[in-house]
Amino acid sequence: MSETTMPEVKAPLIVGVSSAMKKVVKLVDTVAASDCCVLIEGESGTGKELMAKRLCAKSRRHDRPFIPVNCAGISESLFESQFFGHVRGSFTGAEQNMLGLVRTANSGTLFLDEIGEVPLNLQPKLLRVLQEQEVMPVGNPMPIKVDTRFVAGTSRNLRQMVVEGDFRQDLFYRLNIVRVSIPPLRERPEDVSPLLDHFSRVHSERYETSRIHLSSNVCALLVSYPWPGNVRELAAWVERLYATGLEPEILVEMLLIEGAPEDKPPVPEGMSLKQVERWAIVQAMEHSDFNQRKAARMLQVHRATLARKLKAHDLT
């Protein structure tokens, strides 16, 4: 790995109208100016790398490298070489000098995604780099100073991992100077519609076709869907809409069938969109002992919306 000239990092668009996402973006923009470590927490697909890139773009390092690395994808045996670099001949296969990720990101930002996957025995080496801002390449006994900002991402509960002995407490405290927690999409259903609109615009341009209209019934079902894969799953659904040419009603039914939890009965095949909606309401009412407040939470809709739907489907 050698030094490269990288283009200026542009602040990515963060689509969201919910107060929760507005608070997240405000926090990211506020801490961007400092060089402190930032820990970005969030389920898979919530956009942790997007937030890390925004953090870099809003910082003084916006014209320097932004290097994302998936810690889960680096083998334990190659960790030191990949992160800290090595000198030629330091081990079998080391045919040339290698900077390593930390020095490649020198003067820029290194995003350590899935930091919780770093093996416990290697965490002290990473901690030393964060604290001392220096690396010791494999085969070189002399430390080399670096000026790298570290941002970490995780879909795991690092605090719980510390309690269970799977993550070093000192490394956790060093990373957790500022914590940014991205809420899952199911907790901010008001963001679903703007995200659908955004990705529809993106993919209509990509596939060079006109925008596909989504009916109010389709939109309502998409808003109430829990999106276990978060924004990534939603983006994939919209692209599938443009790539396959299938009717939105068909793709919604497929989504509900595929996304049905294992402990609940699958959506019966052959139903119309209206029948699928009625079925979902009946299931929620039965699983909540016919408590409308609980059923509304299960369906991720307002209680008044559920009451209106119950009346429309003659379920009252």
pLDDT one digit per residue (tens) for the chain, 316 residues: 444 456 788 889 999 999 999 999 999 999 999 999 999 999 999 999 999 999 999 999 999 999 999 998 888 878 888 888 777 656 665 667 778 899 999 999 999 999 999 999 999 999 999 999 998 887 777 888 999 999 999 999 999 999 999 999 999 999 999 999 999 999 999 999 999 999 999 999 999 999 999 999 899 999 989 999 999 999 999 999 999 989 999 899 888 877 655 555 566 666 777 787 888 888 778 777 788 877 777 776 777 778 888 888 888 7
Residues 70 and 178 in one domain: yes
Q: Which of 129, 162, 183 corresponds to the end of one domain?
A: 183
**Share in percent of the chain as helix, strand, coil (round to 5):** 50, 10, 40
The verdict on 204 and 95 lying in the same domain is no
Does residue 173 lie within any of the structural domains?
yes
Are 165 and 262 in the same domain?
no
* Pair 167, 194 in one domain: no
Give yes or no: residues 74 and 57 share one domain: yes
Task: Looking at the structure, tell me whether residues 72 and 166 fall in a common domain.
Answer: yes
Q: Does 6 map to a domain?
A: no
d(CA 66, CA 314): 56
pLDDT at 92: 60
* 67 and 160 together in one domain: yes
Domain that holds residue 161: 19-183
> Whole-angstrom Cα distance, residue 118 to residue 167?
9
Place of tokens 């430390």: 143
Structure token pair of residue 33: 């100016």
In the chain, the largest separation of any two C-alpha atoms, in whole Å, equals: 77
Phi, psi of 180 (to 5 degrees): -115, 120
Residues 178 and 225 in one domain: no
Which CATH number do you get for residue 71? 3.40.50.300
What pTM, to 2 d.p., does this model score? 0.79
3-state secondary structure of 218: helix
> 297 and 224, same structural domain?
yes
Q: How many degrees, rounded to 5, is the angle at CA 259 between CA 285 and CA 161?
A: 100
Rg (CA), the chain: 24
Residue 251 contacts residue 240 (beta carbons within 8 Å): yes
How far is it, in rounded angstroms, from Cα 44 to Cα 47?
A: 8
Q: CATH number for the domain including 252? A: 1.10.8.60
Tell whether 54 and 199 lie within a shared domain: no
Number of domains forming the structure of the chain? 2
CB 53 within 8 A of CB 9: yes
Same domain? 141 vs 207: no
Co-location of 156 and 305 in the same domain:
no
